[in-house]
Chain A
Amino acid sequence: MGVFEGRAQLGKSMKELMLHWSETKMSWDDSQSKQFEEKFLAPMEADLRNAVGAMDHMAVILQQIRRDCE
């Protein structure tokens, strides 16, 4: 697995995590679950978006370098 596949894997895992979370929220609905979502899941999702953006950028760079130097 490289950058491109890693990026896809991250996106897929996060999507699944949020799907699991939606299901869990149906069984856990109180101030603690809201806090868990706001203080842990939401920031992690935002950090993941940054990471995915960085991976997208690197995938383009690597492709370009491969083309220029092969």
Chain B
Amino acid sequence: MAEGAKVNSLDALKHFKTYLWKFSEAANLALADAESEMQRMLLWLETEQGAYWQGQIRKRTEILSRANELLRYKQIYKSPTGSRQSTIEEEKAVQIAKRRLLEAQEKVQNVVKSSRRLTKEIQTYKGSVQRFATSAQLDVPVAAAKLDNMVATLEAYMSLGATGGSSTDAASSGGAFTRAELPEDRPVEPPPPDEIPIRGAVPEEAATLTDLALRSIQTWRYSPEETELWRPPLIVREDYIATSPVFVTERDGRIIGFYGLSGSPPHVRLAYLYVDPDKVRLGLGTALWHHAIQTASQLGYAELQLTSDPNAEAFFIKLGARRFAKTASPLEGQELPVLRFPLASDK
């Protein structure tokens, strides 16, 4: 490790992690409420206001018609004294009725135009906030997991008695921690290598991820026909990425591995974990696995389950997963191992 960690208070890290979660919740709520108001406005336009102003056109047309009749009556008939009647009031009423009818007609046009405009604006808005929404929804759990990992590492170091105390506050022992000083055999899960950057996927990457998954299974030397049979369960949909934790790792701007989770508590399924066939044995699969475990733990799941390719089972077993069932494969005569991995949920 190139440089040690310098932490003077583990409590500060723990508090910040707690606030990160609060921030994530507040951000998600704010985004959801904002979008909800937009949708309500669209519904208001398309249902209530359209009908309301159409009704107003009918009513105001009748009022104008009546006002015109009154005016005509006054113009035709003379007063009981035989003189010409004043039509000033009736003319005013006709002008007002015309203005009100015109207003209703303009409102109907406004409703139609506004409805179209709002639909487009909502789409643009969604695109603009997508990155932040992904960050608040997916990156925050990962960041919190990293902080947790660091706190766990430092606490484990403290429990070894290296500083002669059990306080989680390094300041109380009078110094900073150095991760490089940790004994090599201490039983703390290592964090994913920092050299392997992992970020949340965006829906536009769905086709790239499907392609990567299909290329990845070529490692197992499936024939083109067999690969086609595998295609349906390997398709990554845009809506799946938009609503589920999906993370990618990339190099030189090219995605070279990814994983995706799905399911509902208490079990989460590792729906995908694929690495570019040209980039195997570089630790990408292991880094993605650790990242998936951290994410699932942070999201409060108790157990991670996965259906593995038979050729990849040994990899997952090495990482601590255990087989507990078998399931049918898209290929005739092949069975797929179903594995599970217990999670230490901390949510």
The docked-state distance in angstroms from the alpha carbon of A10 to that of B124 is: 19
- B114 neighbours in A (Cβ, 8 Å): 65, 68-69
Residues of B within 8 A of A14 (CB): 23
Check A5 against B33 for contact (C-beta < 8 Å): yes
- Shortest CB distance A46–B (Å): 9
The B-contacting residues of A in range 32-50, CB under 8 angstroms, are: 32, 35-36, 39-40, 43-44, 47-48, 50
Secondary structure class of chain B's binding surface, majority of residues: helix
Closest beta carbon of chain A to B280's beta carbon, Å: 25
Known A-B contacts A1-B29, A9-B30, A32-B5; the reply to A51 vs B15 at CB < 8 A is: no
Count A interface residues, CB 8 Å. 45
Kindly identify which residue among B12, B53, B131 contacts A28, using a CB–CB cutoff of 8 Å: B12
Known A-B contacts A5-B33, A40-B139, A62-B41; the reply to A24 vs B16 at CB < 8 A is yes
- Report if B3 contacts A (CB, 8 A): yes
Q: Which of A1-39 contact B (CB under 8 A)?
A: 1-3, 5-7, 9-10, 13-14, 16-17, 20-21, 23-24, 26-32, 35-36, 39
**Distance between A17 CB and nearest chain B CB, rounded to angstroms:** 5
B143 on interface, CB distance cutoff 8 Å: yes
> In this assembly, does B128 line the interface, its C-beta being within 8 Å of a C-beta of chain A?
yes
Query: Which of A17, A32, A47 has a CB less than 8 Å from the CB of B150?
Result: A32
Task: Assess whether B33 is in contact with A28, with CB atoms less than 8 Å apart.
Answer: no
Which residues of the partner chain B approach A62 to less than 8 Å between Cβ atoms?
A: 37-38, 41, 118
State which residues 21-39 of B face A: CB under 8 Å: 22-23, 26-27, 29-31, 33-34, 36-38
Which of A17, A58, A61 is B34 in contact with, Cβ under 8 Å?
A58
Docked CA distance A55–B9 (Å): 37
Known contacts A6-B30, A36-B146; is A28 also within 8 Å of B132 by CB?
no
**Shortest CB–CB separation between residue A2 and chain B, in angstroms?**
4
Q: Do A54 and B41 form a contact, CB below 8 Å, given A23-B12, A69-B49, A69-B107?
A: no
Distance in Å: Cβ of B85 to nearest Cβ of chain A: 39
Contact A30 B121 (CB under 8 A): no
Tell me the bound Cα distance from A50 to B49 in angstroms.
31
B residues at A contact (CB < 8 Å):
2-9, 12-13, 15-16, 19-20, 22-23, 26-27, 29-31, 33-34, 36-38, 41, 45, 49, 53, 107, 110-111, 114, 117-118, 121-122, 124-125, 128-129, 131-133, 135-136, 139-140, 143, 146-147, 150, 171, 194, 197
| Beyond A50-B129, A54-B129, A65-B114, 17 extra complex contacts between A and B, CB < 8 Å | A13-B23, A13-B30, A16-B23, A20-B19, A23-B12, A27-B7, A27-B8, A27-B13, A28-B13, A30-B4, A36-B147, A40-B139, A44-B132, A44-B139, A50-B132, A65-B41, A69-B49
